Amino acid sequence: MDIAIVGCGDVAGQYAPAIAAHNALRVSAVADLDADRTEALGRTHDVPSYTTLSDLLSNESVGLVLNLTSHAAHAEVTQTAIEAGVGVYSEKPLALDAAEAQALVEAADDRGVVLGCAPYPIEGDAQKLTWRLLADGRLGTVRWGYATTHIGRLTEWHDNPESILQVGALYDGAVYPLSVLTAYFGPVTHVEAAHDARLEADPGDDWAPDQTVAVLAFADGSRIQLSASTYVPHQTKQFNTLELHGDDGSLFLENTGETEAPADPAVEFARLGTGYTPVRQQADPSPVGRAAPVAALAAAARGERPVPDSLDPRRAAHVVAVLEAIEACADGAGPVSVDGPSFSSPATPPTVPAPADRLSSMPPIGFGCSRFRDGTYVDLTSSIETALDAGCRLLDMAELYGNEAEIGDLLDAPGRPDRDALYLVSKVWNTNHAPKHLRAAFDATLDRLGVDRLDCYMLHWPDAWAHRGPLGELKDRPTDEAEALTFPTDEEGDIIEADVPLSDSWAAMESLVEEGRTTHLGVSNVGRPELRELLSLADIPPAIVQIERHPYLPQSDLVAFCREHDIAVMAHSPLSAEGLLTEPVLHEIAENHEIAPAQVVLRWNVERGVVPIPSSTTPSHVIENLDVFRFALSEADLQRIDELADPECEPR
């Protein structure tokens, strides 16, 4: 689509190259009151240049106007384009007057043209991650928060600060947190209190207040203290931050406006009584550049899609009404109601964005809950808490691990994700393969976890052993008693097998799916022969196969076989092979990416389409293991790791 840029200042230098590089957009003409600026930008992109929008629209065929003029000119330029029957994407704010902003929305509707307004922050990775955490119920009811937009002393760093200083940080900066907050919590109903001041010793005569503080009440009952400043220095710790506090915990978003290169950590979470834990993104980054909202609005103008809710001009008009109410309240009007049109809230992003080649609801990495470490048992309570705080959504459990009741208590505690945000896997032990024992074991697992369904229930091994009674919560039993229950042996110490056909066990598993008590079935520690047998007899085939997998033991043939049969592969023990994490190749790759060798191994699994489920008793390692989506391995890296395969390495 042909895009006409109106306003050829600094920000046009950011938009124009992005539009020119987009495969569905083209800079077709430019306009600016400053003839030198418009001619310079026109020459750069080899397009006609004009000094008025009216002349441009009279002489050019335009699909969309990109309004990059000064704040005070936004409304007039947008109105001119709408009257000419051309849609507009405007830089923020939509207008400096609430009635004028509403009139623009109505005019666009009357003319049947699209209208959208910056900013577009709700599409950023960090903003969506924060939103998912809120939707998952991590904070409980949010009652208070702090939003800052401290854009700094512009005369010290901005080449042309006058237009911003005239409108102040409210109209230039506060639109970022307000765009995010109205997506999270709905419209602002009223401004409860506000104060503004001029703190600079010698402000300009027509400069807006350089510090404003307001308390905003939102439709859902939450209240946010907003601070907007052109006095607080640029890029302080409180630049564009958002901190939210609920009954069950707190969230911190480092920058409400950043959509291309968020800080690390960009989002942090704290349960009540604990410090902040970095929350790790569970998908590769999706930077949102300058061209993205223009392209989305252009697609709407072509009739290919509706105007995205995140670009709804009614939200932009509401934001202007909020800013106007803050000014009125600060001028002494007392609490001020915010009126205006209703707007659509964007749909909450999915908990875990999933590629087409993975089960749609399964996260790309998880946490293994086995307590067994180097011949002894460890307490994983703190590690599982840390994993959940850091964004882990997949827990791999088993009745053999003996800690399902403990995990159930963790999941039921305040500040935990809602059940629907989690992917819960458990496994039936070998001694419970007989159908009645298998169903009893499944019931006991649900009871211990305090849930009414699993996402995947697995056979821990395909082998059936003699039943010695219900396992219960094994961690509460003496070790000798637990091992006698789980590893039945004869007088010579050999395992006593049970005469339970795999077909009978699997039929019992299938009945759990048919009853809606588990979504998927799986099998662990299986080879190709056993998997072929299972596929031949199953009415409901396994959705997941869990195997030991790491660079020494990639099991590539089995992984390929699973992929041929649309079976997802989960890698247990991805880091535990002796000597793996001291491997020179892994250290070299890790050093090149400024990460840890463990992250290299986990990312290798992810890039090979396998879901790793690492475990650790060290909190910093738990967080580090989840942080494998801010970098990518090259094909050369992957090949070097593949070459570590050891033909003599056997599954344990």
CA atoms of 145 and 221, how far apart (whole Å): 12
CB atoms within 10 A of CB 418: 12
The residue type of 143 is: R
CA atoms of 436 and 404, how far apart (whole Å): 20
* Both tokens assigned to 212: 């404003």
| Set 171, 184, 401, 423: catalytic member | 401
Query: Which of 570, 577, 606 lies closest to 427 in space, CA to CA?
Result: 570
Query: Containing H/E element for 66?
Result: strand 64-67
Query: Which of 533, 506, 536, 537 lies closest to 521 in space, CA to CA?
Result: 506
Say which residue the tokens 């009745």 belong to.
Answer: 399
CA atoms of 109 and 312, how far apart (whole Å): 12
Say which residue the tokens 């590539």 belong to.
Answer: 556
* Both tokens assigned to 16: 């124009």
Q: With H, G, I as helix, E, B as strand and everything else as coil, classify residue 216.
A: strand
| 3 state SS for 233-291 | CCCCCCCECEEEEECCEEEEECECCCCCCCCCCCEEEEECCCCCEECCCCCCCCCCCCH
For residue 647, give every residue at least 6 positions away whose Cβ sits within 8 Å of its Cβ, in sequence order, or none.
Answer: none
CA atoms in the 13 A half-sphere facing the CB of 106: 8
Q: In 564-587, which positions are buried (b, 16+ CB within 10 angstroms) versus exposed (e)?
A: eeebbbbbbbbbbbeebbebeebe
List the alpha helices (DSSP H) in 120-161.
125-135, 154-157
CA atoms of 560 and 575, how far apart (whole Å): 21
CA atoms of 440 and 419, how far apart (whole Å): 22
* Both tokens assigned to 377: 């048992």
Torsion, Cα of 286, 290, 293, 297 (10° steps): -140
| 3 state SS for 420-477 | HHCEEEEEECHHHCCHHHHHHHHHHHHHHHCCCCEEEEEECCCCCECCCCCCCCHHHC
What crossing angle do the helices spanning 175-185 and 313-328 adopt, rounded to 10°? 110
Pairing relationship of beta strands 277-278 and 267-271 according to DSSP bridges: antiparallel
Q: Is residue 107 within 8 Å of 80, Cβ to Cβ?
A: no
Q: How far is CA 306 from CA 81, 168, 569, in A?
A: 20, 33, 38
CA atoms of 174 and 226, how far apart (whole Å): 8
What crossing angle do the helices spanning 435-449 and 502-514 adopt, rounded to 10°? 40
DSSP line for 626-646: H--SS----HHHHHHHHTT--
Query: Which of 218, 626, 167, 189 lies closest to 394 in space, CA to CA?
Result: 626
Tell me if residue 184 is catalytic: no
In eight-state DSSP terms, residue 161 is -
Active site residues: 401
